Amino acid sequence: MCGIVGYWGKKAAQPVLMEGLKRLEYRGYDSAGIALIADGQVMVKKTAGRISALQARLDRPSRRHTVGIAHTRWATHGPATDINAHPHLDFTGKIALVHNGIIENYQTLKRWLQIEGIQFVSETDTEVIAHLIGYFYTKGCSDQRPSNGQNVFEWSVQQALQRLHGTYGLAIICSDFPKMLIGARKGSPLILGVGDGEYVLASDAAAIVEHTTRAIYLADNEMVTIDSDGFHTKTIDNVTVCKDLQEIEFSLEQIELGGFAHHMLKEIFEQPQALNTCMQGRLNRRDRRIVLGGLASYMRQLTRARRIVFTGCGTAFHAGLVGEYLIEYLARIPAETEYASEFRYRSPIIEDGTFVIAISQSGETQDTMAAVEEAKDRGATVLGIVNVVGSSIARATDAGVYLHAGPEIGVASTKAFTAQLAVLTMLAIELGRRRHLGSAEVEYWIEQLAQIPGKIERILSQSDQIRQIAQANIDHNNWLFLGRGFNYPIALEGALKLKEISYLHAEGLPAAEMKHGPIALISDGMPAVFIATRGPQYDKIIGNINEVRSRGGRTIVLATEGDDQIRPYADFLIPVPDAPEILQPILTVVPLQLLAYHAAVLRGLDVDKPRNLAKSVTVQ
């Protein structure tokens, strides 16, 4: 995990780096640090705690310090302490680096470096990289000069990187080369923003767009060296590579709060717009078909698929579960969903005609990426449903569909989830159309889907009422979320949302499973959230609501607007606009997002940065 930023330019580096860190804070926020080249020396400041704690320890920025690196951490190796915070220095004190990723062979390298007499001060895997570069740098400066006249700092970095196993996004500086910044990438994202006489290196475009919208995306095993002659991209084996400058798609305005108290709330309210953008140009009403350009060359094969396997983590996994129901219902293709972390280790069976579809907001989740690699190794065609353009999963998959939901900053995924459901619905309709659906049916589903953003607006207007419901129930530490059919995955998602940001324990279940055990949990006043919108299992779920009420549980019921029959069964009622059952998940999840959001705020918690979590989980 972690976010890294590097700056090379004409301005004082410190404010640029600190601003960049704030934009990357979602990637981890247990410690932070900065290193600048100041008067021929590397100056490091770092501390456990949030970026604000680092800011408080910094001196006033100086315009003489125009090259630097910075880091916001999510601890993997070693707890969140001042010493374990990045940047890490090598034993000469000349080289400083920040790292996002995990070095798998760090213990072997550490033992070897210790035998060579190098002392370690931290418990991190990252410190090994710094010392390894320092080791080659010292040699390069003495007996083992690079033979081709190559800069010794760059050469040392390459020598070290060639010996690392694992993943890294790195930004590195050296006090002997005060006008040089090096970045390198393997398995962790790294983007170089190219401005007018200035460069910003970062894990995510969010830290770059304030300065420039032109960027290059480094690929695995590539590095970039920035000096007074400009930037040079190479492989870590020193082979020059030419990279195209690309335009970064989103603006600064899109990632700022725009009057909302939190990113999560902003992103919940952005859902109608995000869905409209996601569906724009894809719903072809005139020809009664769906156009998913990114999949065009695979649609014929996909239509004949024998099996579709969705994979992802967290909220994206829940989207996969809905996708499985949608594909089986509309396209009649067998489908299943597997946690990416399980899929990759269970020796999955990939037969001819199996398609694996990876779902990920960030496109950087390591478990999902590993599942993609596993599926490819086993010969599957692998497609992606991803939000972040140019991300690792987007590039590793054979083809895919972008969500176009805009940047999602809040750690708890919201608008990416509903956009994932919209893409899955579009895919299922189009596959259905190509297999057996009549054109009137296709037209019906397209029309119904097009109405969803407007219906979400109606749910959002109930935010205050939902806050009152949260207020009345937040004293209870245990909650149940229950749904059936297409709304079963939404029960899981509702419980996940409440857990991750309000730290209340919640369990999501298919409502019928309650009687096989969890019903024993129900005690006086325990909140049970039922998704009981009209559909084929409506009567059954009323039965389940009664089972809870008769045992003293308190019911919060999501019901179809205008359903008066259900009122007597609900201690709290949340009306949801009517929709066919297969489209209900995109609607029913929205009140549950709001419920979790308000519960967390009312409990005084940091909604956008919940404890122990990070937005982009780049560890396995």
3-state helix, strand, coil in the chain (%, to 5): 40, 25, 35
Q: Is the CB of 555 or the CB of 616 nearer to ligand G6P?
A: 616
Residue 161 in tokens: 């990187």
Q: What six digits make up the tokens of 183?
A: 């970045």
Residues 599-618 that bind ligand G6P (CB under 6 A): 613, 615-617
String of contacts with ligand G6P for each residue 310-329, x by CB under 6 A? --xxxxx-------------
Active-site residue numbers? 2, 615
Smaller CB separation from ligand G6P, 320 or 432: 320
CB 152, min distance to ligand G6P, A: 39
Cβ closest to ligand G6P, residue 405 vs residue 514: 405
Beta carbon nearer to ligand G6P, 159 or 360:
360
Q: Which two tokens stand for residue 369?
A: 């990426």
CA–CA dist 140, 377 (Å, integer) = 39
Smallest separation (angstroms) from ligand G6P to the CB of 254? 18
Name the residue with the smallest CB distance to ligand G6P.
314
User: Is 502 a residue that touches ligand G6P (CB under 6 A)?
Assistant: no
**CA angle (278 as vertex; 311, 342 as ends), nearest 5:** 5
Q: How far apart are CA 8 and CA 226, in angstroms?
A: 8
Tokens of 306: 């024998």
CB of 496 to ligand G6P, least distance (A): 8
Residue 538, Ramachandran bin (φ over 0: left; ψ between -120 and 50: alpha; else beta): alpha
210: enclosing H helix or E strand: none
- Whole-number minimum distance, CB 347 to ligand G6P, in Å? 23
Query: 591 φ, ψ to 5°?
Result: -60, -30
Q: How far is the CB of 572 from ligand G6P (least distance, A)?
A: 26
Containing 235, the helix (H) or strand (E) segment is: strand 230-235
HSE-CB of 425 using CA atoms within 13 angstroms: 28
One-letter amino acid for residue 142 of the chain: S
Q: Does 203 bind ligand G6P (CB under 6 A)?
A: no
DSSP string, 379-444: T-EEEEEESSTT-HHHHHSSEEEE-------SSS--HHHHHHHHHHHHHHHHHHHHHT--HHHHHH
CB of 321 to ligand G6P, least distance (A): 13
Residue 412 found at the interface with ligand G6P (CB under 6 A): yes
Size of the site for ligand G6P (CB under 6 A): 17
Among 159, 354, 413, 425, binds ligand G6P (CB under 6 A): 413
Alpha-carbon span 347 to 533, nearest angstrom: 39
In the bound state with ligand G6P, the residue whose beta carbon lies nearer, of 120 and 339, is 339
Instruction: Please give the Cα distance from 316 to 367 (Å, whole number).
Output: 12
**Range 284-313, binding ligand G6P (CB under 6 A):** 312-313
As measured in angstroms, the least distance from the Cβ of 317 to ligand G6P is 8
Interface map 347-386 toward ligand G6P (x if CB under 6 A): -------------xxx--x--x------------------
CA distance 406 to 449: 20
CB-nearer residue toward ligand G6P: 498 or 526: 498
Residue 419 within binding range of ligand G6P, rule CB under 6 A: no
> Is 411 an interacting residue with respect to ligand G6P (CB under 6 A)?
yes
Binding interface with ligand G6P (CB under 6 A): 312-316, 360-362, 365, 368, 411-413, 613, 615-617
